[in-house]
Amino acid sequence: MITARVICVASGKGGTGKSITSTNLATVRAGKGERVLLVDFDAGLANAHLLLGLAPQYDLGHVMEGSVDPFDALVEGPNGLKLLSGGVGRHTLTNPTRRELERLFKSLRALEDAFDLIVIDHGAGLGYGTVAHLAATSTLLLVTSHEVTGLSDGYALYKRALSVNPYIRVGMLINRVPDSLAAESAWTRFRNASQKFLGSQPELLGHVPADHAVGRSVELRAPVVVSSPESEAAHAFRRLAEWPALDLARTASAFYERAQRALR
C-alpha cells in the first residue's frame, strides 16, 4: 500500500512562522486535490486550529491517552484539509514520556494510509519527540527569520537533523523579511556557515516578505492564501507549495514506524 508523503516543518526558535507556513502550505496542496493532513505537533502551544478557524473537540493529547481514535480527532479545514490539533496546555503533550510518544506514534500510523501528504507543524526546540520526527522523515522544511538569532537557532536544528538523519532533504524558507536583500544576506551567512562546519547546505526555497496580509489573516482565522490570495505572502506560499521534494517525500517504511524506532 502506498502511504502518505510526510514533511516536517521546524525551526530552532519560536515565532519564525512555522504554523503560518504549515497552514498555508497544507491549504494550497489540499486545493490541488491532494488528501492533506496537518498535524499540529507543537507540544503545549498548539495554534494551527486558531489559524484555520477551527475548534476541534479532540487533540493529540486525547489520542496519546488512547481515549480517542485518531480518525475521530480530525477536523476539516480550508479546501478540505484535515487537522489533527495539538491541544493547549495539556500536561500529557507538553511533557510526554518516550513510552507515551511511542503509543502516540503507533496510533498515528493508521493515518498514513488515508492521506497523500502529511504536514507536521513542530514547536520550537529539540525535544525528543521532534528529534524522532527528524530521524524518521525524508524531508524537512526549515523556517527561519533573516535575523542572527533565528539563523543561529535554525543552524542548530539543521545540524541536529543531519546528525540524526544524514540523508534528510532540507529546504530552507526565510520568513518575514523586510526585503529581498535581507533574505539574500541571511542566506549567504547561513550557507557559508553550514558549508564550512557541516560540509553541506539546505536548498534555498526562497523567502516570504513581512506582509500585513498575514497579520490580518491571523485575525480573520483563515490562511492568507484564502483571505488575501493576491497578497505577496500568498504568492510566496504558493511558490513554496511547488517544491518538488513535496512530491517525493516518501520513506522506505512507514514514517510513524520509523519515528517509533527512533525513540529507542
Ligand X SMILES: Nc1ncnc2c1ncn2[C@@H]1O[C@H](COP(=O)(O)OP(=O)(O)O)[C@@H](O)[C@H]1O
Q: Give the number of residues in contact with ligand X, rule: CB under 6 A.
A: 18
Residue 134: name the closest of 6, 225, 18 by CA.
Answer: 6
Nearest distance in Å: CB 129, ligand X: 16
- CB distance 74 to 28 below 8 Å: no
- CB distance 225 to 237 below 8 Å: yes
Nearest distance in Å: CB 222, Mg ion: 17
Q: Distance of CA 30 to CAs 7, 248, 253, Å?
A: 14, 16, 24
Which CB atom, from 236 or from 254, has the smaller least distance to ligand X?
Answer: 236
Using CB under 6 A as the binding rule, the residues of this chain from 23 to 82 that contact ligand X are 47
Using CB under 6 A as the binding rule, the residues of this chain from 218 to 237 that contact ligand X are 218, 233
Among the residue ranges 62-70, 156-164, 179-187, 210-218, the one whose residues contact ligand X (CB under 6 A): 210-218
Residue 79 binds which one of Mg ion, ligand X, none, with CB within 5 to 8 A depending on kind?
A: none
If you write DSSP's letter for every residue of 130-197 in order, what string do you get? HHHHHHH-SEEEEEE-SSHHHHHHHHHHHHHHHHH-TT-EEEEEEEEESSHHHHHHHHHHHHHHHHHH
Nearest distance in Å: CB 18, Mg ion: 5
Nearest distance in Å: CB 40, ligand X: 10
> From the list 4, 7, 18, 107, which residue makes contact with ligand X (rule: CB under 6 A)?
18
Nearest distance in Å: CB 167, Mg ion: 26
C-alpha cell at 47: 495554534
- CB distance 30 to 246 below 8 Å: no
Among the residue ranges 25-33, 149-157, 207-215, 256-264, the one whose residues contact ligand X (CB under 6 A): 207-215
The footprint of Mg ion (CB under 5 A) covers 18-19, 42
Nearest distance in Å: CB 208, ligand X: 4
Q: Cα angle at 79 between 77 and 85, to 5 degrees?
A: 25
> From the list 80, 215, 229, 244, which residue makes contact with ligand X (rule: CB under 6 A)?
215
Residue 183: name the closest of 209, 203, 201, 152 by CA.
Answer: 209
Among the residue ranges 87-95, 134-142, 161-169, 209-217, the one whose residues contact ligand X (CB under 6 A): 209-217
- CB distance 172 to 142 below 8 Å: yes
Q: Cα angle at 50 between 259 and 108, to 5 degrees?
A: 20
CA–CA distance, 81 with 33 (Å, rounded to integer)? 10
Please name every residue paired with 10 in a beta bridge, in sequence order, or none if there are none.
Answer: 142
Residue 233 binds which one of ligand X, Mg ion, none, with CB within 5 to 8 A depending on kind?
A: ligand X
Under the binding rule (CB under 6 A), the answer on residue 19 touching ligand X is: yes
Residue 215 binds which one of Mg ion, ligand X, none, with CB within 5 to 8 A depending on kind?
A: ligand X
Residue ranges in contact with ligand X by CB under 6 A: 11, 14-20, 47, 175-176, 208, 210-211, 214-215, 218, 233
